[in-house]
Amino acid sequence: MTGQIELVTDDKSVLGEGPHWDQVEGKLYWVDIDGRELRVYDPAAGTEDIHYFDQRVGAVLPDQCIT
């Protein structure tokens, strides 16, 4: 297996966990548990959205799956 690793965001998460690639939306989701954040990276746009919460976030998954 060959490939290239690329840093797409330098977010400095406190405790970054649970990456999930959403193939339908073409976005990468993950949480910063201790930072109380949900992060969404859109490689097509080259942007990252950050959603803040009042309590710790443990995981993120899509609400619907296409089979």
Domain boundary assignment for the chain: 35-59
Task: Work out the burial of residue 32: count CB atoms within 10 Å of its CB; fewer than 13 is exposed, 13-18 middle, 19 or more buried.
Answer: buried
**In this predicted structure, what is the pLDDT of residue 4?**
86
Comparing 5 with 67, which gets the higher pLDDT? 5
**In this predicted structure, what is the pLDDT of residue 65?**
58
**In this predicted structure, what is the pLDDT of residue 36?**
96
pLDDT in tens, 2-60: 788 877 777 788 888 988 999 889 999 999 999 999 999 999 999 999 999 999 998 88
Two structure tokens written together for 11 = 């977010």
Residue showing tokens 């405790």: 15
**In this predicted structure, what is the pLDDT of residue 5?**
82
